[in-house]
Amino acid sequence: MVMLAQYQNKPINLSNKWNKSTNFTGIPVIDLSYPDDAKNLMVKACQDYGFFKVINHGVPLRLATELENETMRFFNMSQSEKDKYCSPSPFGYATNTIGPNGDVGWVEYLLFASNNIPTNSKTFSSLAKEYVEAVRKLGCEILELMADGLKIEPKNVLSRMLSDEKADTVFRLNHYPPCPNHPSTSYGWNPIGFGEHTDPQLISIARSNTTSGLQICLPDGTWVPVPPDHTSFFINVDDLLQVMTNGRFKSVRHRVIADRMKSRVSMIYFGGPPLMEKISPLGSVMEQGEESLYQEFTWFEYKACTYRTRLADDRLSFFHKGSHPLG
């Protein structure tokens, strides 16, 4: 039996701001209207940080804004009305609880399978479906640019997993209410909205309103804030993509800090492959004589691991070659 790390969502003291990383010059910004440049900049960003921002992405701002407004109409309902929605198992509405293993945060959320968004609002459902399809296409474009930048064939070796009708993709809407009276704020601390973690899928595509809070962890362990930009999308390298590139791309550890005075809402598309897709480093990525760092596993097996671990656990460590499977 593998012993899991113990983790608590301790508040964060922001009074001293963040340590400056000598090599960090800001979040990489990639303009998708210049694909020849974008593919190379994307590979570098994925290798250095596992994170970047895309502009000129083709998803209408109107669509994102209208969906955000509809989302806030839901979150602004009374708690008794919201509680009529079933607790996630894993899909539905929940507040404060994150996953089944004791993680908590200053957050409420809606979680849906991307191909099944049932709500009592036809307007919300219609907007969400249109938005998910637009972001899925964006994800496929980004994955194909990554493949091109890595010089691997075929071009759709990554994107085909999101295009597959059996793709296991998830859409999450997070709301971080203001927390002026949270006990920790009396001591200059900000409560954790969503604790540190990596995303288990291939790629995550996030968009938020203009309230800050998202932070990423740099390779040297420094946490840095991500300036909000409601007109752009932020792209995370997820665990499966780290495996398929044999560690060249880094799955980014990130967290959200709640704001004392302002509400934050984010919309995240998590792109996962079909459940029985076998995951291992791509032969076309690896150099002659290079050994795989990871055991082969299916997305179903890895997904099961996420349900048995804490939010901050290093799940990939259980699948390193030479490690023992989680049991």
Provide the annotated active-site residues. 264
Cα of 15 vs its chain's centroid, Å: 27
Reading the block at residue 28, the tokens are 């990489």
CA neighbor of 6 nearest in space, from 234, 299, 310, 315:
310
Please return the burial class of 159, using the count of CB atoms within 10 Å of its CB with bins 0-12, 13-18 and 19+: buried
The answer to whether the beta carbons of residues 234 and 51 sit under 8 Å apart is yes
Residue 111 pairs in a beta bridge with: 92, 172
Provide the phi-psi class of 62: left if phi over 0, else alpha when psi is between -120 and 50, else beta: alpha
Distance CA 127, CA 13 (A): 38
Task: Give whole-number Cα distances, 32 to 58, 100, 114, in Å.
Answer: 9, 38, 24
Say if residues 149 and 43 touch (Cβ distance below 8 Å).
yes
Structure tokens at 63: 């669509």
Query: 276: how many CB neighbours lie within 10 A of its CB?
Result: 11
Tokens found for residue 287:
């150099």
Q: How far is CA 30 from CA 34, 86, 132, 232, 298, in A?
A: 9, 39, 21, 10, 31
Residue from 319, 323, 261, 303 nearest 100 by CA: 303
Beta carbons within 8 Å of 77's beta carbon, 6+ residues apart = none
SS3 state of residue 264: strand
